[in-house]
């Protein structure tokens, strides 16, 4: 039966529509997976359900009760609990104390009787401690009960967050990227844990994660969000093979028919062999790095040869950005070696590294919004010690010459990225690393930027790019590394990787793409909303999903299928 | 049986012990130091109020002296205008301070950090320059002369400042130990955990069922009430009320000394109160003379400079405050002994 109904929820941040009329149901006892590329609106949806932000339009019902005016703590009491993508444990409290807060929140506790240590309070105190310990036991966290939550490694903190969410006796558990930062083994363990949790605590779950190796095996049903809309929905096997979903993850080009791979091989292959002989410009060996307790990358080995374009691809959180940061000295590597141009630069300051001729353009570009284009480019003089060759930059980027008096902050996203690239080129680097170059940019702009990358290669500059639009990246790149769970899972020439689509889609959507091609096309809207409301509330989950699927296969509204069935029953 | 759990008993005994020691301490001192001791208790309440608000709940306030001042004036007004028993006056003062605290807490529902600090600073300024000094509030402040409360009685005893200062001091210290005990209890209880949850992550607290509005306002109210309780004894101690002790700078000093001594620890409040009351007096009394023919004069101003310098040193060397860091070091050094003792106890229990 339906537990949470979300209807046409819309959220706008300024001009950006983060969620655009999203509707779905979560049924009792169900684990519903929610996936989608970066910026698809998953976390926004979470914040709406838990009451942290208020939707601009739409309605939500929990157990038939409207959530419109319920503040977050009220929703917690109704039985909606959540975890956080960026850990939000109460770090100066012990693990057990973390669990007792939501337990206490359920009971009527009085501050003054607590302070006076009255019998009622100390009784309640022991009851909460007992329940907290029981939950810790199920999650295998007993030995950490008295540890301060902030002192634990991130993987265990994630488990404590799940425990804390369970402590408030929820009926619905919202899990926001519980696998972030976990390696493959820990992810498998988490998947098992989630099944245990469902059985022991009788909760339904809404699971958001980038990691398909968690979402697909665990979920009963999957919704795919893209640009704030429901792109597709279906059972995990169908989602894995849905061309629309693959396109959303890998970029526009792969939206073509899946069966027939493009026969024409790109010309880039030809340029490959002669570069093999040269000594590598950048060599990375056994690199490991992370933040705080979190080890994000381990055993990363890669190299870039002079004048080569190399792409790093892989799902979000796989460790691509961290690798770039560890190479350029923005964070200190934990172990491993980075050699650039024959010199060991492991752990050097980022300033020193950039003087060596390795320029890093970070995600978000690192520009000064109030500076004009020309002033931004002139600033390069600081790092190269002479006037930069502005005419050369304007030859490469004619558009920037037109805009040279304009403040960088007023430029479009694509033009800002050009400023960042131009600034990098002016420093006369040997290698430029670009992180998420095309994030948030329209496809036509992205094409222009890749054209510039090609020009940079022709100038003899090697480029290491981290890219979401896999198809476009592989078109430009000579070689590519595929990241999975903080390490490199595959590598090869771009042509090879392009030919082996399954390999790449596997690293995004989970491997084992089997033949069960149950493509689902529905967009979440039903012909007869009133009838569907009745159906969605009264029917058990499995029956409902079956009806929806049948309706979609037959290309009819679900309401019609239901009516037909009712007719049949009447006749019998 | 249930509420005489061992930890609780230890706390009560410690509070009693602290009271007995502290109550006796100033008996042999001269009247000047006795006054300092009573003042130390008043400011001790002020810092205790910050331990609750900043240490437990993580909210910033730079108007704690204002709450104390409202308590002092309210008590003075009740005694002088309505001639009530001093205990009643104290109760009214606490309620008045609580109410003001809740009002000041309203902006904290939306603001935090530096913006909240500025707003509370503004409130301190308004009370300091306007409410405590303007003729329009003479009914509350007693006009420019303030209230005189000589001859006030409590528990049937005469408690005026000149002859019976120690009596007021004993009551004040008793109340301080009681409130300190309650605060330690609170820290370890459900409500205290909710407060600390707000301090560590408001987002997580609200989504885990903690009503932010209610607990933030409660924290501001309780904190103001504690400061007001201390302040309400000020007329007894000093014999009269004037705006000067409750001006803006005292609020800043309370905040600075709370951080210096360890804003998360209840005993730091006692330490801070003593520091704030005694050090300036000691400096003015003994801080002049001559040394190798050079005459010197370390007057009160030096105290302000000393607080600033100490604060910088403390933030570098003792980031958890004087009390906090010393406590942690002692606990750390004693850890092996403690676990050994626990093992012995466990053994004797199992064999018995």
Residues B185, B77 share a domain? yes
Instruction: Tell which wins on pLDDT, B283 or A541.
Output: B283
Please give the mean pLDDT across all residues of chain A. 81
The answer to whether residue B3 is domain-embedded is no
Q: CB of A170 within 8 Å of any CB in chain B?
A: no
CB B318 within 8 A of CB B325: yes
A532-542: average pLDDT: 61
pLDDT computed for residue B271 by the predictor: 94
B38 and B55 fall within a common domain: yes
Question: Pick the residue with more confidence: A528 or A315?
Answer: A315
Residues B304 and B347 grouped into a single domain: no
| Better-predicted residue by pLDDT, B144 or A310 | A310
Q: What is the C-alpha separation between A449 and A415, in angstroms, rounded? A: 9
Give the pLDDT of residue A526: 34
| Paired tokens of B8 | 């609780």
Q: Is B11 among the domain residues? A: no
**Positive or negative torsion for Cα B333, B335, B336, B342:** positive
Q: How much is the pLDDT for A265?
A: 43
- Same domain membership, residue B346 and residue B311: no
Nearest chain A residue to B185 by CA distance is A115
Cβ distance B191 to A123 less than 8 Å, yes or no, reads: no
Chain B nearest CA to A568, separation (Å): 47
Q: Are residues B313 and B329 in the same domain?
A: no
**A524 has pLDDT over 50:** no
The DSSP letter of residue A570 is H
Q: Which residue of A has its CA nearest to B198?
A: A90
pLDDT of residue A266: 44
**Quick check: B70 and B137 in contact, CB under 8 A?**
no
Question: Is B127 a domain residue?
Answer: yes
Q: Are residues B211 and B344 in the same domain?
A: no
Rounded to two decimals, what is the model's pTM?
0.75
Q: Rounded distance, CA B151 to CA B160, Å? A: 5
Give the structural domain span for B349: 323-352
Shared domain for B352 and B225, answered yes or no, is no
- A269 has a chain B CB within 8 A of its CB: no
Q: What is the DSSP string of A535-549?
A: HHHHS-HHHHHHHHH
In a shared domain, residues B77 and B118: yes
Question: Helix B248-261 vs helix B322-351: angle between axes, to the nearest 10 degrees?
Answer: 40
SS3 assignment, position B298: coil
Question: Is residue B275, in this structure, part of any structural domain at all?
Answer: yes
Quick check: B289 and B295 in contact, CB under 8 A? yes
B147 and B37 within one domain: yes
On whether residue B4 sits in a domain, the answer given is: no
Question: A500 pLDDT band (50/70/90 cuts)?
Answer: confident
Assess if residue B10 is contained within a domain.
no
The whole-number pLDDT of residue A309 equals 92
pLDDT in tens, chain B (352 residues): 444 557 888 889 999 999 999 988 888 888 888 899 999 999 999 999 999 999 999 999 999 999 999 999 999 999 888 888 888 999 999 999 999 999 999 999 988 889 999 999 999 999 999 999 888 888 888 887 788 877 677 776 777 666 778 888 999 999 999 999 999 999 988 889 999 999 999 999 999 999 999 999 999 999 999 999 999 999 888 888 888 899 999 999 999 999 999 999 999 999 999 999 998 888 888 877 777 777 777 766 777 888 888 889 988 888 889 998 898 889 888 888 877 877 777 777 666 5
Weakest mean pLDDT among A183-197, A243-257, B321-335: A243-257
Backbone φ and ψ of B157, nearest 5°: -100, 150
> Considering the domain boundaries, does residue B118 fall inside one?
yes
Q: Name chain A contacts of B192, Cβ cutoff 8 Å.
A: 114
The helix (run of H) or strand (run of E) holding residue B339 is helix B322-351
Say yes or no to pLDDT of A458 above 80. yes
Question: With 60 as the cut, is the pLDDT of residue A320 above it?
Answer: yes
Select from A466, A436, A497 the least CA-distant residue to A310: A466
Give B-chain residues touching A119 at CB under 8 angstroms.
Answer: 2-3
Q: Are residues B103 and B156 in the same domain?
A: yes
Neighbours of A10 (CB within 10 A): 16
Tell me the CATH number at B273: 1.10.3470
Nearest CB to B189; choose among A72, A82, A114: A114
Lowest mean pLDDT among A164-173, A176-185, B205-214: A176-185
Check residues A150 and A504 and name the one with the higher pLDDT. Answer: A150
| Chain B residues within 8 A of A116 when measuring between CB atoms | 182, 185
Joined tokens for residue B136: 């329009």
Distance of CA B240 to the CA centre of its chain: 20
Which pLDDT tens digit goes with each residue over A342-396? 888 888 888 888 888 888 988 877 788 888 888 888 888 777 777 888 888 888 8
Average pLDDT over residues A483-510: 78
Q: In chain A, which residues have their Cβ closer than 8 Å to the Cβ of B222?
A: 111
pLDDT of residue A387: 80
B330 vs A558, higher pLDDT: B330
Question: How many domains are there within chain B?
Answer: 2
pLDDT of residue A554: 78
Residue B305 and residue B334 in one domain: no
Q: Which of A195-204, A338-347, A534-543, B136-145 has the lowest mean pLDDT?
A: A534-543
Are residues B143 and B215 located together in one domain of the fold?
yes
Residue of A nearest to B206 (CA): A73
Q: Is residue B294 part of a domain?
A: no
The closest CB to that of A102, out of B191, B200, B209, belongs to B209
A 10 A CB-CB count for B148 gives: 18
User: A151-166 pLDDT, tens per residue?
Assistant: 888 788 889 999 999 9
- The band of A184, judged by pLDDT with boundaries at 50, 70 and 90, is confident
Which secondary structure element, helix H or strand E, spans residue B222, and what is its range?
Answer: helix B212-232
Supply the ipTM of this predicted assembly: 0.85
């Amino acid at each position: 039966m339906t537990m949470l109904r979300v209807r046409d929820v819309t959220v706008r941040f300024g001009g950006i529509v983060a969620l655009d009329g999203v509707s779905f149901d979560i049924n009792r006892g169900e684990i519903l997976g929610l996936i989608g590329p970066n910026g698809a609106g998953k976390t926004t949806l979470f914040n709406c359900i838990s009451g942290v932000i208020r939707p601009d339009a739409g309605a939500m019902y929990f157990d038939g009760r409207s959530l419109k005016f319920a503040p977050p703590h009220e929703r917690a009491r109704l039985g909606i609990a959540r975890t956080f993508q960026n850990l939000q444990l109460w770090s100066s409290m012990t693990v057990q104390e973390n669990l007792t807060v939501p337990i206490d929140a359920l009971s009527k506790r009085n501050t003054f009787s607590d302070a006076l240590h009255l019998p009622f309070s100390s009784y309640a105190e022991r009851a909460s401690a007992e329940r907290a310990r029981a939950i810790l036991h199920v999650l295998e966290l007993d030995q950490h009960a008295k540890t301060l939550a902030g002192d634990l490694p991130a993987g265990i903190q994630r488990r404590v967050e799940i425990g804390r969410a369970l402590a408030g006796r929820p009926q619905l558990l919202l899990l926001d990227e519980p696998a972030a930062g976990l390696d493959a083994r820990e992810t498998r363990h988490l998947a098992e844990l989630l099944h245990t949790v469902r059985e022991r605590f009788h909760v339904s779950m809404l699971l958001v994660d980038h990691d398909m190796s968690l979402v697909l095996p665990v979920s009963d049903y999957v919704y795919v969000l893209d640009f704030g809309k429901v792109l597709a929905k279906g059972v995990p096997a169908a989602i894995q093979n849905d061309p629309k979903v693959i396109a959303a993850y890998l970029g526009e080009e792969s939206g073509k028919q899946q069966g027939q791979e493009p026969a024409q091989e790109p010309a880039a292959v030809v340029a490959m062999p002669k570069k093999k002989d040269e000594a590598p410009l950048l060599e990375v060996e056994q690199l490991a790095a992370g933040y705080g307790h979190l080890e994000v990358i381990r055993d990363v080995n890669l190299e870039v040869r002079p004048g080569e374009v190399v792409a790093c691809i892989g799902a979000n959180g796989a460790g691509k950005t961290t690798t770039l940061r560890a190479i350029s000295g923005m964070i200190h590597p934990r172990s491993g070696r980075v050699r650039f141009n024959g010199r060991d630069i492991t752990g050097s300051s980022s300033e020193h590294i950039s003087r060596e001729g390795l320029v890093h353009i970070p995600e978000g570009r690192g520009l000064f919004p109030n500076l004009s284009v020309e002033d931004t480019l002139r600033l390069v003089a600081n790092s190269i010690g002479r006037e930069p060759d502005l005419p050369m930059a304007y030859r490469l980027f004619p558009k920037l010459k037109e805009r040279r008096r304009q403040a960088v902050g007023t430029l479009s996203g694509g033009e800002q990225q050009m400023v960042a690239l131009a600034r990098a080129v002016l420093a006369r680097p040997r290698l430029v690393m670009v992180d998420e170059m095309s994030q948030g940019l329209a496809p036509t702009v992205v094409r222009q930027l890749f054209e510039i990358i090609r020009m940079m290669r022709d100038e003899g500059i090697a480029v290491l790019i981290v890219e979401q639009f896999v198809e476009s990246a592989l078109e430009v790149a000579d070689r590519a590394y595929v990241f999975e769970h903080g390490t490199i899972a595959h590598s090869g020439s771009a042509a090879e990787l392009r030919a082996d689509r399954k390999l790449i889609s596997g690293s995004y959507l989970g491997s084992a793409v089997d033949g069960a091609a149950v493509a689902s096309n529905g967009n979440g809207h039903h012909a007869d909303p009133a009838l569907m409301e009745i159906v969605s509330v009264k029917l058990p989950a499995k029956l409902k999903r079956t009806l929806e699927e049948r309706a979609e296969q037959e290309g009819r509204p679900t309401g019609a299928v239901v009516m037909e069935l009712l007719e049949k029953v009447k006749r019998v | 049986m249930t509420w005489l759990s061992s930890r609780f008993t230890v706390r009560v005994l410690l509070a009693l012990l602290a009271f007995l020691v502290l109550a006796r301490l100033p008996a042999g001192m001269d009247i000047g130091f006795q006054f300092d001791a009573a003042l130390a208790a008043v400011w001790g309440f002020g810092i205790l109020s910050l331990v609750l608000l900043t240490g437990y709940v993580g909210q910033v306030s730079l108007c704690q002296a204002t709450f104390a001042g409202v308590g002092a004036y309210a008590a003075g007004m009740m005694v002088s205008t309505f001639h009530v028993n001093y205990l009643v006056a104290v109760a009214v003062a606490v309620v008045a301070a609580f109410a003001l605290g809740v009002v000041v807490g309203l902006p904290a529902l939306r603001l935090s950090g530096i913006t909240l600090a500025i707003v509370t600073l503004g409130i301190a300024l308004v009370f300091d320059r306007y409410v405590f000094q303007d003729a329009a509030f003479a009914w509350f402040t007693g006009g420019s002369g303030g209230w005189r409360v000589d001859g006030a009685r409590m528990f049937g005893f005469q408690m005026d400042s000149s002859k019976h200062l120690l009596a007021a001091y004993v009551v004040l210290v008793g109340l301080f130990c009681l409130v300190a005990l309650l605060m330690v209890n609170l820290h370890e209880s459900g409500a205290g955990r909710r407060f600390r949850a707000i301090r560590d992550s408001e987002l997580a607290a609200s989504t885990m069922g903690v009503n932010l509005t209610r607990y933030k306002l409660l924290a501001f109210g309780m904190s103001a009430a504690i400061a007001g309780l201390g302040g309400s004894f000020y007329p007894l101690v000093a014999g009269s009320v004037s705006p000067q002790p409750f001006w803006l700078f005292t609020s800043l000093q309370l905040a600075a000394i709370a951080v210096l001594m360890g804003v998360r620890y209840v005993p730091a409040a006692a330490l801070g109160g003593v520091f704030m009351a005694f050090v300036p007096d000691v400096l003015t009394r003994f801080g002049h003379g001559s040394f190798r023919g050079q005459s010197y004069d370390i007057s009160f101003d030096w105290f302000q400079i000393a607080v600033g310098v100490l604060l910088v040193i403390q933030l570098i060397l003792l980031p958890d405050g004087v009390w906090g860091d010393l406590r942690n070091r002692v606990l750390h050094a004693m850890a092996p002994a403690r676990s050994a003792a626990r093992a012995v106890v466990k053994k004797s229990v199992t064999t018995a």
